[in-house]
Structure 1
Amino acid sequence: MSPSDANLKDIRARLGELVTGRKIVLMGVGNELRGDDAFGVWLGERIEHRIPQRVFVTHDLPEDYAVKAADLRPDIVIVLDATNFGGEPGEKHLVAARDVPPTPGVTHRPSLEMMARFIELDAGAETWVLGVQPQMDSVGVGSEMSAPVAAALDALEAMLLEMLLAAEA
């Protein structure tokens, strides 16, 4: 098993513990003009096509969707985002929103913190970030998404769709 496969297996197990029997909302965050920073937007859009009622694609303005997400009264809000946590490009992680470190070149970090706090206070929902480590030279304006982040995008899409569709059945 490759380190990437083991990482995905760990994420699946942790996410399964969090979401089982709970109402989930996903928020895809990022900027499509900034390469790897588009990760959350693209993942949100892909899932939104299959499960539209539980996904908000917020781009780099997650706070604009906080009230809509809270109005659904979720138990868990999962923010899909590229975040720099010091891993290898494409490495996946699941972390409480309050523990997300700042990511240079990412414009929505302060609003992510405020949005998570609002949702926790208003809806009583836990807010988590399901993210990927960006390749730091692929977050500038006009950058393309790096191959490791694109691979993580595909893997997380398959995993999330499988888990969320099974929960609806």
Structure 2
Amino acid sequence: MTDVLLCVGNSMMGDDGAGPLLADMCRQQPRGNWRVIDGGSAPENDIVAIRELRPARLLIVDATDMGLNPGEIRLIDPQDIAEQFLMTTHNMPLSYLVDQLREDVQQVWFLGIQPDIVGFSYPMTPAIRNAVVTLYASLEDRDAPGRFPAL
């Protein structure tokens, strides 16, 4: 079965570029057996492609304001995304995406990376870049994303 890594974010918005950076790293040197999709700032546009793949696992990675220190990574229960009012910069809430895919995907993981600076034309901060490198290194182990601390 296929595992899909959906990287979400906008590389022109500082730390919100964490997802696209991870997608680029995976394209240049794949880790594990993840099928990588760069969802950009409108990941809902990839719902059909993900449905067609019918992945056993979907890992969504996004910069998410969780009130933590910059660069901290947390596993968030997809059902809690809307309830906890987690802030992202995207057009539609990620809870909509998860709801649309629930019947087609056996397991959904959501990993949030706490951003520091999200603003147009800002560079990515070192803490977020390091978090992306840590997450990238973990992808070799298919179950590693589920081992990050829960929010």
Q: Which one-letter code corresponds to 1:58 in the other structure?
A: G
* Aligned-partner Cα distance in 2 for 1:63–1:145: 24
Q: Which runs of 5+ in 1 are unaligned?
A: 1-21, 165-169
Which of the numbers 113, 123, 140 marks the counterpart of 2:95? 113
Q: How does 1:41-56 map to 2 (within 5 A)?
A: 41-49=20-28, 50=30, 54-56=35-37
SS of 2:25 mapped into structure 1: helix
Q: Which runs of 5+ in 2 are unaligned?
A: 143-151
By how many angstroms is 1:66 displaced?
Answer: 1.1
Q: Report the equivalent of 1:4.
A: none
Residues 142 and 74 of structure 1, relative CA distance in 2, 3 Å threshold: same
Comparing 23-32 with 124-133, greater Cα deviation is found at: 124-133
Paired positions, count? 137
1:95 partnered with 2:79? no
Q: Report the equivalent of 1:19.
A: none
Q: Which one-letter code corresponds to 1:163 in the other structure?
A: D
- More helix per residue: 1 or 2? 1
Query: Comparing both chains, which one has the higher relative contact order based on Cα–Cα distances under 8 Å and sequence gaps of 6 or more?
Result: 2
Identity percentage over the alignment? Answer: 31
Return structure 1 stretches of 4+ with deviation > 4 angstroms. none
Q: Report the equivalent of 1:80.
A: 61
Q: Report the equivalent of 2:15.
A: 36
Residues 42 and 102 of structure 1, relative CA distance in 2, 3 Å threshold: same
RMSD: 2.0
* TM-score calculated relative to the size of structure 2: 0.81
